[in-house]
């Protein structure tokens, strides 16, 4: 990413510019440079030619999956009991083993060494994230997975015309893709990942992130994420994540019923799975477009936002079984079906992806979610009876009435931009939080 120094030169050339103004400009540029350290991906649609080019892409996906699985199995051999007499397995040793395997097997040598080494790098990164406790232990990649892909390290791209470009893929030549972003952003890419999902080929170009646009306002907003309303703001705006239409839901259910009756491994079952995959892909595109439009609208209207900290993985866990003490081997009702429906509704609201994309586009402050739905934004009274229903909030202390989601969003905004910046003892310190936890749980007479 190229940082322009025109603003610095302009400030330095003006006689009226003070040293403070120059230091502020330099600090702003330094913040932009720090933000450019991380990377992002630009996803473009790829249209390979039927025949040798498409076969080469499929071959790369198969080789990448095979090398990844073999590398994972090889790493499982090395244990603590063998570390004294066996060389530790890492990327360097596995890359050397891959070179020997390519000399022995012609079908492996027919593929690209860049793609196969990229699979080993993905495996090494997966183990690094596991030991850093950022991810689970790596698992084997299945051929039946709807998404397959491989890495292209030495990226070469050229522009054909205004709408089309080409990327050089080893053993496949120049593959055409649709241009939907500025060509300067595509040229800044350093590597790429070609993937296929339910028959749709895409290329993810690794580029520096775009510079955040600073809106011409000082307004801040609190955001409450829910199920009935996917996103509710402190200004009273409501946003709903899209889903399948009524006709698409009927068709999706019919396809699932047909899939359950079909024999595993049959051609008809594969065709049904492909139809279901296309419906899921359409739904993912629809929700992704909603996330981009909603986050962009919020980033253009506010300078900062506050969201509550939600443990989505914990909230979407399945209900624990309740063994029946009177009947060994039997279980009591645990509300599993209702919990499953709630988990599906939470995941359909796209809480995590929404917060992630919002943080990419604007300043986001994360606050505690405790009692945001029970606390009155008018007087601060906290009580479970304040919330009459999902949408109605009626304070038992002062009689304040408001939409429940909007009231929670106001509390989130106040915790981030008002409470946290007040003197200690009157803000979100431990004493104040203990008072909230000790708030009355019944109506005030």
Spatial separation of the C-alpha atoms in residues 442 and 54, rounded to whole Å: 67
pLDDT in tens, 119-160: 999 999 999 999 999 999 999 999 988 899 999 988 899 999
Are β-strands 331-332 and 322-323 bridged in parallel, bridged antiparallel, or unpaired?
antiparallel
Question: What is the pLDDT, as a whole number, of residue 24?
Answer: 41
In this model, does residue 22 exceed pLDDT 80? no
Question: What is the pLDDT, as a whole number, of residue 240?
Answer: 94
Tell which residue, 219, 224, 217, 238, has the closest CA to residue 417: 219
CA 375 to chain centre: 30
Spatial separation of the C-alpha atoms in residues 228 and 249, rounded to whole Å: 19
Mean pLDDT on 413-420 = 77
Q: Using alpha carbons only, what angle is made at residue 182 by residues 176 and 185, rounded to the nearest 5 degrees?
A: 90
pLDDT band at residue 72, thresholds of 50, 70 and 90?
A: very high
At residue 239, the 3 state secondary structure works out as strand
Sorted by sequence, the CB contacts under 8 Å of residue 236 that are 6+ apart come out as: 403, 406
Spatial separation of the C-alpha atoms in residues 441 and 421, rounded to whole Å: 28
How many of the other CB atoms lie within 10 Å of CB of 126? Answer: 17
pLDDT in tens, 284-325: 999 999 999 999 999 999 999 999 999 998 889 999 999 988
Spatial separation of the C-alpha atoms in residues 94 and 240, rounded to whole Å: 48
Tokens at 120, concatenated:
């080993």
Tokens at 442, concatenated:
């019944």
Helix 52-77 with 91-104: angle, nearest 10 deg: 130
How many Å is the Cα radius of gyration of the chain?
27
Question: What is the pLDDT, as a whole number, of residue 4?
Answer: 37
- Share the mean pLDDT of the chain: 83
Question: What is the pLDDT, as a whole number, of residue 298?
Answer: 93
How many of the other CB atoms lie within 10 Å of CB of 226? Answer: 20
Question: What is the pLDDT, as a whole number, of residue 148?
Answer: 94
Question: What is the pLDDT, as a whole number, of residue 80?
Answer: 65
Buried b (16+ CB within 10 A) or exposed e, 161-184: eeeebbbebbbbeebebebeeeee
Write the CA distances from 329 to 34, 321, 322, 332, integer angstroms.
58, 11, 10, 10
Tokens at 356, concatenated:
């992630």
In this model, does residue 338 exceed pLDDT 50? yes
pLDDT band at residue 84, thresholds of 50, 70 and 90?
A: low
CA 218 to chain centre: 28
Buried b (16+ CB within 10 A) or exposed e, 382-412: bbeebbeeeeebbbbbeebebbbbbbbbbbb
Question: What is the pLDDT, as a whole number, of residue 221?
Answer: 93
Mean pLDDT on 65-71 = 95
* pLDDT: which is higher, 274 or 34: 274
In this model, does residue 15 exceed pLDDT 80? no
* pLDDT: which is higher, 97 or 444: 97
Spatial separation of the C-alpha atoms in residues 220 and 284, rounded to whole Å: 30
At residue 107, the 3 state secondary structure works out as helix
How many of the other CB atoms lie within 10 Å of CB of 122? Answer: 19
Question: What is the pLDDT, as a whole number, of residue 265?
Answer: 87
Question: What is the pLDDT, as a whole number, of residue 119?
Answer: 95
- Cross-strand pairs, 195: 149, 202
**H or E element at residue 64:** helix 52-77
CA 429 to chain centre: 31
pLDDT in tens, 150-209: 999 888 999 999 999 999 999 999 999 999 989 998 988 988 999 999 889 999 999 888
Backbone angles phi, psi at 174, to 5 degrees: -80, 120
Asked if 223 contacts 405 with a C-beta cutoff of 8 angstroms, the reply is: no
Sorted by sequence, the CB contacts under 8 Å of residue 213 that are 6+ apart come out as: 299, 300, 361
Q: Strand order of the sheet with strand 363-367?
A: 238-239, 231-233, 220-225, 304-308, 363-367
């Amino acid at each position: 990413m190229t940082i322009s120094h025109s603003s610095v030169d302009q400030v330095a050339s003006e006689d009226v510019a003070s040293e403070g103004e120059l230091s502020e400009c330099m600090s702003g540029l330094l913040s932009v440079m720090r933000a450019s350290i991380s990377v992002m991906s630009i996803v473009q649609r790829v249209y390979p030619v039927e025949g040798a080019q498409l076969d080469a892409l499929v071959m790369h996906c198969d080789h990448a999956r095979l090398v990844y699985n073999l590398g994972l199995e090889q790493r499982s051999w090395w244990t603590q009991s063998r570390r004294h007499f066996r060389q530790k397995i890492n990327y360097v040793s596995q890359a050397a083993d891959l070179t020997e395997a390519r000399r022995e097997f012609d079908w492996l040598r027919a593929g690209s060494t860049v793609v196969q080494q990229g699979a080993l790098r993905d495996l090494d990164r997966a183990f690094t994230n596991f030991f850093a406790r950022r991810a689970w232990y790596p698992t084997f990649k299945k051929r039946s997975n709807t998404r397959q892909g491989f890495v292209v390290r030495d990226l070469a791209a050229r522009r054909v015309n205004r709408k089309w470009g080409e990327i050089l893929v080893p053993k496949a030549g120049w593959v055409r893709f649709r241009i939907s972003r500025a060509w300067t952003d595509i040229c800044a890419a350093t590597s790429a990942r070609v993937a296929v999902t339910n028959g749709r080929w895409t290329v993810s170009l690794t580029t520096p992130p775009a510079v955040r646009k600073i809106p011409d306002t000082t307004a801040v907003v609190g955001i409450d994420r829910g199920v009935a309303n996917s996103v509710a703001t402190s200004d009273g705006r409501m946003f709903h994540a899209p889903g399948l239409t009524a006709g698409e839901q009927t068709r999706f259910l019919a396809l699932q019923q047909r899939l359950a009756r079909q024999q595993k491994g049959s051609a008809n079952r594969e065709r049904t799975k492909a139809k279901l995959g296309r419906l899921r892909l359409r739904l993912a595109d629809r929700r992704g477009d909603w996330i981009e439009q909603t986050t962009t609208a919020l980033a253009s209207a506010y300078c900062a936002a506050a969201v509550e900290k939600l443990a989505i993985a914990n909230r979407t866990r399945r209900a624990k079984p309740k063994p029946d003490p009177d009947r060994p081997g039997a279980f009591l009702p645990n509300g599993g079906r209702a919990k499953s429906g709630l988990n599906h509704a939470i995941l359909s609201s796209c809480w995590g992806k929404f917060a992630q994309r919002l943080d990419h586009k604007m300043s986001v402050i994360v606050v505690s979610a405790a009692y945001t739905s029970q606390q009155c934004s008018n007087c601060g009274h906290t009580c479970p009876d304040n919330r009459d229903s999902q949408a109605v909030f009626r304070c038992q202390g002062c009689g304040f009435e408001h939409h429940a989601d909007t009231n929670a969003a106001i509390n989130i905004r106040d915790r981030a931009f008002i409470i946290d910046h007040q003197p200690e003892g009157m803000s979100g310190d431990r004493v104040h939080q203990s008072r909230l936890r000790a708030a009355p749980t019944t109506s005030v007479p």
